[in-house]
Amino acid sequence: GAVVSQHPSWVICKSGTSVKIECRSLDFQATTMFWYRQFPKQSLMLMATSNEGSKATYEQGVEKDKFLINHASLTLSTLTVTSAHPEDSSFYICSARTGEPQHFGDGTRLSIL
Amino acid sequence: SQKIEQNSEALNIQEGKTATLTCNYTNYSPAYLQWYRQDPGRGPVFLLLIRENEKEKRKERLKVTFDTTLKQSLFHITASQPADSATYLCALTYGQNFVFGPGTRLSVLP
């Protein structure tokens, strides 16, 4: 089956640092990758959609200068949380899609101290 | 905009019984409706997909129905087991949009 690998699975860092999260589709080429954010006991909220080789499309209210997305190949997308602050602490999940359904990574728990 | 509701935030059932989860949407009929399972601290895992022109799909102990007139999907787990305890999310694809419901947290009691 389709596998999406997300790395790292958890990260703890100081306020003000930048954190990069990788999302890879291991056994298929993803035309589109998505980044979600999930707060405790809530559903996934879409942050942005990225297509290989083009700029990401951000959802309303998501700061594109804060959450930098790079989709350099059909199997890799990265999300960089720049100058992270405690309010950025959350569970970040990526997904990859080529047709239906979407397949999800296992998430990255980000804790900013 | 599309609004998705799942019948209850939490559902408790006894082991061996059939769990039935509901997903209702308000506006556009989706091209696809999908069900995912999410365990704490993990990403969603795809379970079943049903298309707008399909009425029912089955996979082992799982069954999904789709009624575009009622704008509703039902998700059944038969002979439920404690290992089925998780949050179940329905998700709709319509056009370029993909939207999750809020999820139902299922607990199967031994």
Give the Cα separation of B85 and B108 in Å (integer): 5
Q: Is A99 on the interface with B (CB under 8 A)?
A: no
Residues of A in contact with B89 (CB under 8 A): 43-44
Residue B62 distance to chain A (closest CA, Å): 17
CA torsion through residues B20, B26, B31, B37, sign = negative
Contacts for B94 with CB less than 8 Å, ≥ 6 apart: B2, B28, B29, B30, B31
**pLDDT tens digits in sequence order for chain A, 113 residues long:** 689 999 999 999 999 999 999 999 998 888 889 999 999 888 899 999 998 888 899 999 999 999 999 988 889 999 999 999 999 999 999 999 888 888 999 999 999 99
Gyration radius from chain B CA atoms: 13
Give the DSSP letter string of A26-61. SSS--SEEEEEEE-TTS--EEEEEEETTSPPEEPTT
Residue linked to tokens 């035309």: A31
**What are A104's two structure tokens?**
């999800």
